[in-house]
Amino acid sequence: MQKRKEKNKLLLIIGIVYYISGLLLLAYVISIPILNSKKESKALSNFYIQEEKKNNTNQVQNNKENRMTNNLEYIAVLKIPKIKLEKGLVAKDSKYNNIDYGIKILKESDSPDVINGNVILAAHSGTADISYFNNLDKLKTNDEVLILYNGKTYQYKIVNIYDIDKTGKAKINRNNNKSTITLITCRNGTNKQIVLIGELQNL
């Protein structure tokens, strides 16, 4: 009888431990999106504050991407009004420059202020929180894409949309005599990727 009571008591303790562990795990999972959202809002706010300072003082800095940073610090913001996308971009050497975190600036990419350069961005599609390019397939030619960078707004218009095989490499069909932006993501439910090319409309 005594052994049964001790066994029941042990089982009760184990059950309580599992219950508490489950609650802690649930709280952790729920808190991650909230914390990421707060971090995102703060980073966007800081970016716009710095942009306002540049506009007010007319001092345009070069923003050389020459330091590794562990902080979420945006060097630019990508905006696509049609799909209601507004997302910050970090420096190429930031640990956050990864499609598993946000929108990645590919190493072959130029900055928006390079004449006849090509800004190349990639991100996930799908239903995850990091699927920032999920609605790219809704864009059509002449749709607007904006990049806020170094105190200026770069306005692009989509001129070409095509699919490529998902091989890890992307063939970019663009006019090398124009400044462009290239957006790349997977096409849901296929082994293809969609590529959108935009051409700069203003300086």
Eight-class DSSP state of 168: S
Confidence of residue 18 (pLDDT cuts 50, 70, 90): confident
Q: What percent of the chain has pLDDT over 70?
A: 73
β-sheet with 74-80: strand ranges across: 85-90, 74-80, 144-149, 152-165, 192-200, 180-186, 118-122, 104-105
Mean pLDDT of 75-88: 96
* Residues forming a β-bridge with 203: none
pLDDT at 170: 85
Record the tokens describing residue 141, joined without a space.
């030619």
User: Which three-class secondary structure string do you get for 25-50?
Assistant: HHHHHHHHHHHHHHHHHHHHHHHHHH
Q: Is the pLDDT of residue 151 over 70?
A: yes
Mean pLDDT of 99-119: 95
Could you report the per-residue pLDDT of 23-68, keeping only the tens digit for each? 677 666 665 566 566 667 777 777 767 766 665 654 444 444 444 4
Mean pLDDT of 2-7: 60
Could you report the per-residue pLDDT of 88-103, keeping only the tens digit for each? 999 999 999 999 999 9
Report the 10 Å Cβ neighbour count for 124: 19
Query: What residues contact 137, with CB distance under 8 A and at least 6 apart?
Result: 125, 187, 188, 194
Mean pLDDT of the chain: 83
More confidently predicted of 10 and 91: 91
- Is the C-alpha dihedral spanning 108, 96, 128, 168 positive or negative? positive
CB 71 within 8 A of CB 95: no
Q: Is the pLDDT of residue 167 over 90?
A: no
More confidently predicted of 76 and 33: 76
Q: Is the pLDDT of residue 198 over 90?
A: yes
Range of 2-6, 33-37, 171-175 with top mean pLDDT: 171-175
CB 86 within 8 A of CB 79: yes
